[in-house]
Amino acid sequence: MQHQNLLTVILLTPVLLQLKSSLEQPFPDRLTMSCASLVSVVIPTFNRARFIGETLESALSQTWKALEVIVVDDGSTDDTRQIVEEFAARDERVRYFHQANQGVSAARNHAIAQAQGEYVAFLDSDDLWHPWKLAIQMELLQAAPHVGMCWTNMDAISGTGELLSLNYLRKMYSAYSLLPDGKLFASLEPLGRHCPRIAPEFANTLCGIGTIYRQMFQGNLVHTPTVVIKTDWVRQIGPFDTAMRNGGEDFKFHLATCRLGEVAYIDAASILYRINLGDNITRPSNRIHFARSYVRTLHEELAEHGLESGLTRRERRAVVAESYDWLAHEEMETGKKLASLKHACQAVWNRGAIGQTWKTAVKCILPLRRRHLQSLKTWLRKGYGRVQPGLPADSRIVSKHS
C-alpha cells in the first residue's frame, strides 16, 4: 500500500506543480482560460485598406483571447473587403459584414446587433491597440462588477505611425480643462488596489471609479476607441444616432452611458490614435456639425433627464448658453452670420449676461445687411425666449432652434 501511495505521488507531482505555476502567473498570462468573458470588438470601416490590416492585428494580438472581432464595411470602394476576408479565413474570431454607405453610426449599430459577447469594445479601423489593452480593462471591470464602462488614455500618431503626442486625451477633449482643479474623480488609486492579480507592470497605474454624469454636461470626456462597456448597458442606451452623421454621436452615446451608473477610467495610453489624416471625422471643417449635435444632445438629455443631472437650474442654463456660444462661433467662422447672431442671442438669454458672446455678436453685426436685420427682428417677434416644450417645468432652459 505504501508503494502504491508513493507511486501515486510521483505520478501526480508534475501535474500539481504545473497547476500551481499557472495559478501564480500574473493575470494577463492566464487570459486563455475558457471561463473568461467574451468581448465583442466592434470595428466600423470605410476605405481604410491601408490601415485595417494593422488594426486587426492589434485586436487579434490581445492577451485577452476571449474575443470576437466584428467588422462592418460601410460601402468601401478600395481593398478593405479583401483584406478583412483574408483575416477571417485565418482566424474564426473575425466576422465581416458589408452594407451600403450609411455612416459610422449605422455601421457601429450593425456590428452591435451581431455582438455575442458580454462586453463590447469599440475600435476604429485606423487605430491600434496595445496588446494588454483589453486585459487591464477587463480585470478592473470584473473586479468591480458594479462598473458598467471603462475607458483609458491614448497617444496620438500620424498616418505613418510616427508618435505625435503622449497622453492625448486631455489635449483632444477641452472639457477636461473645465473640471474643478482638473479632477474628474474624487481620487485616483493604483490599479493593483482594485485588482490584486493584475500584472506587476500595471499595479501602480492610476484609475478612477465613480459617477461622472454631471461632469459630462461640460462636454465629452470619453474617447470611443478606448471604451469597453457591458453589452446590457449598450442595449439600455440604444443605438448610436444615425442622424448625427458628421459628428457628435459619440458624445450623445457616452452621456447616456454615464447616466446609467458608475464608470471607470484607467490612466494608461492603451491605444494609438491616428490624427491629421485629412478625412478624419474630427477634421476642423466638421466642427460646426459637432457644435450642432452638441446643442441638440444637451436639449434632448436635459428635457428627459434634467432632474437626474445634479445640475441646478442656473447651471443647466449656463451649460445651454455655452453650447449656443460654441455653435454661434462655428457659424460665424463659416460665414453664417444671421444664424450665428441668433444663437449668440440665445446664449445671452440663457446665461442672463453678455459674457464672452459679445465678441461673436460684434463680428456678426459688422457688417450685416439690412435684410438680415429685418429677418432677425421677425425672429425675435415670433417668440424668442420661449421655453422649449418638454423641458422639466423647474428647469426653464430657454431655447429655440433656428
> How far apart are alpha carbons 169 and 155 in whole angstroms?
8
Average pLDDT (159-179) is 95
Which residue segments constitute the domains of the chain, with CATH numbers given? 27-282 (3.90.550.10), 285-381 (no CATH)
Q: What nine digits make up the cell of 103?
A: 455612416
pLDDT tens-place string over residues 277-293:
876 555 666 789 999 99
Higher pLDDT: 402 or 184? It is: 184
Q: What band does 22 get if pLDDT is binned at 50, 70 and 90? A: very low
- CB atoms under 10 Å from CB of 341, counted, come to 25
Prediction pTM value = 0.82
pLDDT for the residue 28: 42
Q: What is the DSSP string of 19-51?
A: HHHHHHS-GGGGTT-TTSPPEEEEEEESS-HHH
Q: Are 359 and 332 in contact (CB under 8 A)?
A: no
Enter the DSSP assignment of 387.
Answer: B
Per DSSP bridges, beta strands 39-45 and 119-122 are: parallel
Q: What residues pair up with 44 in beta bridges, in sequence order?
A: 72
Q: Which has more confidence, 344 or 212?
A: 212
User: What is the spatial distance between Cα 149 and Cα 228, in angstroms, rounded to a whole number?
Assistant: 6
The answer, yes or no, to whether residue 10 has pLDDT greater than 70, is no
Q: How many CA atoms lie within 13 A of 334 on its CB side?
A: 16
- CA angle, corner 38, sides to 266 and 237, nearest 5? 65
Phi, psi of 112 (to 5 degrees): -60, -40
Q: How many CA atoms lie within 13 A of 110 on its CB side?
A: 23
- Provide the pLDDT for residue 23: 36
| Across 20-44, average pLDDT | 61
pLDDT at 43: 98
